[in-house]
Amino acid sequence: MSHSAVSQAATAVSVSVGNERSLRRSVFKHNNSISFNTKSSWSSSLALNQKTTTTIRDARRYTSTTTLCMSVQQASSSKVSVSPIELEDPSDPPLNLYKPKDSYTAKIVSVERVVGPKAPGETCHIVIDHDGNLPYWEGQSYGVIPPGENPKKPGAPHNVRLYSIASTRYGDFFDGKTASLCVRRAVYYDPETGKEDPSKNGVCSNFLCDSKPGDNIQITGPSGKVMLLPENDPNATHIMIATGTGVAPYRGYLRRLFMEDVPNYGFKGLAWLFLGVANTDSLLYDDEFSKYLKDHPDNFRFDKALSREEKNKKGGKMYVQDKIEEYSDEIFKLLDNGAHIYFCGLKGMMPGIQDTLKRVAEERGESWDAKLSQLRKNKQWHVEVY
């Protein structure tokens, strides 16, 4: 779909979002005692008037996710109302509500390629309908069990694969019933022939990227507490560093901070995103992030490292650690003042980043080991790599 077509479709969608939100809010009953400790407690507390909402939900599930997201960006700079507000009540995050031997059967809503034609590889944005039965917090992960038999354990299912959730607890439809994943298709090419070997391709990533709306998907979780977004200080600074699909949790953070009208939470601090990808066509959620930059210039910064299009100061490829080094003095000062720093992406990103931070620390006359120890002690250091 062209940008002009999306823009035209977006206008119509944006109108229905606002009207529907007020209707949805009216059918939820507020319950201050809601808990995520058991499946039954929250599933009963978030019960819907099904007759009123089923038609609306089904209609929205199969509307283009891209169009809906674009409508939010283009309609206005005002925030989007979210419901059910009960999702704000629990003091602790939901953890392992469904385990591998007792997984939850969700449904695929949409699978959309979110990179351009010149991007190396394919990355998809996948929306999953959990119908409110698998709540999560921003920064957590879902486990996915792909269909089929584990080749290493005949007769047993595949092992669980973890994916960072790329949406807020309200999901892409702002109603607490979906979750989104950002998945890069893992493809193996034989180094000798240069041809793809499907037998060695990533089982789960290919299952997800090949899924169709309505397909069943087995989910476990949610899991993870390391990457949770601290919200006790609305004036906090959050420095987010990602490579590729590692941007997933930050997409959730930023929608919560800048897109959603979250009750009793108004962010007034600084969110600073560093994203490293191969080229412009590989940028993920760039329209959303650019919109935040336009609407919230005092609260959001966005720096990109395009390794195949840009050079660092030494004339080599521009990686995310090179971009961090450009702003190292400012980053260190922010960390000294209590900023949170997050890292998400491939394990291979961390050595280069750690080396850069260590070199910068030494240039400042500091011990990086001591500084890192203090950041961890203060719970300012958040790392999730795979």
Binding residues: 164, 184, 245, 307-308, 317, 345-346, 384
> In whole angstroms, what is the distance from residue 170 CA to residue 136 CA?
9
Helix (H, G, I), strand (E, B) or coil at 236: coil
Pairing of strands 178-184, 161-164: unpaired
Among the listed residues 324, 337, 325, 236, the one whose alpha carbon sits nearest the alpha carbon of residue 274: 324
Q: Which H or E run includes 221?
A: strand 216-223
Catalytic (active site) residue 124? no
Residues in the annotated binding site for NADP(+)? 164, 184, 245, 307-308, 317, 345-346, 384
Residue of 69, 204, 209, 344 with catalytic role = 344
Residue 231 falls in the annotated catalytic set: no
Q: Write down the catalytic residue from 164, 205, 211, 282.
A: 164
> What is the 8-class DSSP label of residue 196?
B
Q: Which residues pair with 113 in a beta bridge?
A: 124
Does the annotation mark 163 as catalytic? yes
CB 112 within 8 A of CB 124: yes
202-205 long-range Cβ contacts below 8 angstroms, 24+ apart: 203/146, 203/148, 203/158, 203/161, 204/144, 204/146, 204/158, 204/161, 205/161
The partner residues of 93 in beta bridges, in order of sequence, read none
Q: From the candidates 62, 188, 189, 386, give the one annotated as an active-site residue.
A: 386
**Could you give the CA distance from residue 383 to residue 223 in angstroms, rounded to a whole number?**
14
Please name the residue ranges forming H helices in the chain.
3-26, 39-45, 50-61, 65-75, 203-210, 248-254, 286-295, 320-326, 328-336, 349-363, 368-377
Ranges assigned E (strand) in 228-351 = 237-243, 260-261, 270-277, 300-306, 340-345
Length of the chain: 386
Beta strand 161-164 with 141-145 is antiparallel
Backbone dihedral angles phi then psi of residue 352, each to the nearest 5 degrees = -65, -40
> Which ranges in 123-268 belong to alpha helices (H)?
203-210, 248-254
Which one of the listed residues 20, 260, 325, 384 is annotated catalytic?
A: 384
The token pair that represents 256 in the structure block: 């919560």
Give CA 268 to chain center in angstroms.
21
Contact 121, 187 (CB under 8 A): yes
**164 included as an active-site residue:** yes
Task: Tell me which of 163, 292, 319, 342 is the catalytic residue.
Answer: 163
Q: What are the catalytic residues?
A: 163-164, 344, 384, 386
